[in-house]
Amino acid sequence: MKKDHRLIVALDVESYKKAVRTVNKLSSLIKIFKVGSVLFTHYGPKIIKYIHKKGGKVFLDLKFHDIPNTVANAALQATKLGVYMMNVHAASGNDALVKTQEVVTKEATRLKIFKPILLGVTVLTSLHKEDLEGFGINGSVENTVLKLGKITSRSGFDGVVASSKETRILRKTFGQNFVIVTPGIRPQWSVEKEDQKRITTPKEAIDNGADFIVVGRPILQAKKPLKAVKDILREING
């Protein structure tokens, strides 16, 4: 079985040693690993360097959300780390996203490296319509995702992070070149939903038009993580 870039494994662990063991176990089949806020806050660039050393790529999932200058400068530092993709909350606004896109593109050109894929975070998969109403946001989750997708697209970002529930409408609206990364994935054999609400299976996400799917706990908590990866790859490949 060859590496399939569509499956991103989320290193949602608190231990550097466990993250390293996971990368070592799975790097024969997995090319992209997601580094989130827990792991990065504790260990910083150390884990990113290790993944690169093993020939992997990094999705830096820190969901930057601040004033334009702060978001852009944070993304600038991430670009220097050579990450493959990173995300910013689309709700940071057009100015923040435009400035980030300009800064990242300029820095990647200066360093003569691959420009990271820039993604706007839409609506977290842990949220429902009722949660949005609690924030004062009216309308369906789908419409909210589309509005945030338009902000992201206009800013020059490459795509979005969104639930598979909204992938079809995003693909129809923004076309084939719009990158869609889908979290909230639970394989058919995984019974735990935990804190995720808007979830789908790996095959459903790919069939709905996702470019990448992100899977963490169903793999990390499996007795045989490599087998779990193989099962997911078989599922998304039909």
Report if residue 229 sits inside a domain. yes
Average pLDDT of the residues in 215-230: 95
Task: Check whether 188 has a pLDDT greater than 90.
Answer: no
Q: How many domains does the chain have?
A: 1
Would you say residue 2 lies in a domain?
no
Q: Which domain holds residue 169?
A: 7-236
Nearest to 31 by CA among 3, 10, 12: 3
Q: Identify whether 176 is part of a domain.
A: yes
Contact between 85 and 116 (Cβ < 8 Å)? yes
Contacts of 11 (CB under 8 A, 6+ apart): 19, 22, 23, 33, 34, 35, 36, 39, 47, 216, 220
Convert the pLDDT of each residue in 28-41 to its tens digit.
Answer: 999 999 999 999 99
Q: Is residue 130 part of a domain?
A: yes
pLDDT at 127: 66
Instruction: Tell me the catalytic residues.
Output: 63
Does any domain span residue 129? Answer: yes
pLDDT of residue 195: 52
Judge whether 77 lies within some domain: yes
pLDDT band for position 86 (cuts 50, 70, 90): very high
Please compute the mean of the pLDDT values over residues 94-119 and round it to a whole number.
98
Whether 1 maps to a domain, the answer reads no
Q: Is 201 a domain residue?
A: yes
For residue 67, the domain's CATH number is 3.20.20.70
Q: pLDDT value at position 124?
A: 82
pLDDT above 60 (res 134): yes
DSSP lists the bridge partners of residue 85 as: 59, 117
